[in-house]
Chain A
Amino acid sequence: DIQMTQSPSTLSASVGDRVTITCRASQSISTWLAWYQQKPGKAPNLLIYKASSLQSGVPSRFSGSGFGTEFALTISSLQPDDFATYYCQQYNSLWTFGQGTKVEMK
C-alpha cells in the first residue's frame, strides 16, 4: 500500500502570507496526486489534480507541483476563505489520503 505523509499537520498563517504544504508518497506515483480543501461540516472540494492542474473554478492563487514522491500545494496569498484543512490524495494505486494539514489563523 502507498502511504502519504503531509507536513505540517497544522500551519498558522496570516492573510496575505504565502503558504506551502508538502506531501510525500512512500513510493513513486508519477503525477497521480490531487489536493482537496475541506471546511468544517462540509465535503472535500477538489483543488488540484495530476499534481499541478487547477480544477475549474478554483482561484489561481492555488498551485501544485511535484513528481514521483515529493509534492507541494502553494497558496500564493492566503485569503480569509482559505482557512481550512487540506488533504493530498494519491490515485496511482488504489487511493490514499494524507493525514491533513489544518491552516489556521495566526
Chain B
Amino acid sequence: VHLVESGGGLVQPGGSLRLSCAASGFTFNTYEMNWVRQAPGKGLEWVSYISGSGETTYYTDSVKGRFTISRDNAKNSLYLQMNSLRVEDAGVYYCARDTGSSGLAFDNWGQGTLVTVSP
C-alpha cells in the first residue's frame, strides 16, 4: 500500500488549492478514503470522507461549503479542492485509507503535504 500526497504550497487567505493523493498497491475503488490535517504543533483533525464509489461524502463543520472531496477510481486518485482558504486551514494534510465496516480504522497514511496560508 502506498499513498502519496501532492499539491500543497503557499497560498494567500481567500485563495484555492487542490490536493491530490495517488494510491497504489491495493484495489482503490473498494476502500473509503479520508483527509486528515495537522496544524503546526497541534493534533490531528479529521477533515473529510468519501466512499469507495464517491457517492457519499462528509466534512468537518469548519470546511463545509469551502472544501470538496472527490476521487477518480480509474486513476487511483483522491482529491481535496480547497477554496476560500483561511489562515487556520494551514497545516500538513494527510490522505488515509479507511477500512470501513471491517473496523480497522485508518490503516494506511500518506506522508502528507504542507499547506501554508499567509498574506
Contact = CB atoms under 8 A, between A and B. Distances in A.
Interface of A: 32, 34, 36, 38, 42-46, 49-50, 53, 55, 87, 89, 91, 94-100
B106 A34 contact: yes
A98 B105 CA distance: 15
Interface of B: 34, 36, 43-46, 49, 58, 60, 94, 99, 103-107, 109-112
Q: Which one of B45, B106, B111 has the greatest number of beta carbons of chain A within 10 Å?
A: B106
Contacts of B110: 43
Contact of A55 (B45, B58, B104, B112): B104
A94 B63 CA distance: 15
Contact of B44 (A32, A46, A97): A97
Nearest to B44: A97
A36 B104 CA distance: 12
Contacts of B104: 46, 49-50, 53, 55
Given A43-B110, A43-B112, A97 B105 contact: no
A87 B106 CA distance: 12
A72 to B, nearest CB: 17
Contacts of B43: 87, 97-100
With most chain B CB atoms within 10 A of its CB, the pick from A44, A89, A94 is A44
Give the top 4 A-B pairs by smallest Cβ distance, nearest first: A34-B105, A43-B109, A95-B46, A97-B44
A94 B34 CA distance: 11
Contact of B106 (A42, A50, A89): A89
7 contacts: A34-B106, A44-B36, A44-B44, A89-B46, A94-B49, A97-B44, A98-B43
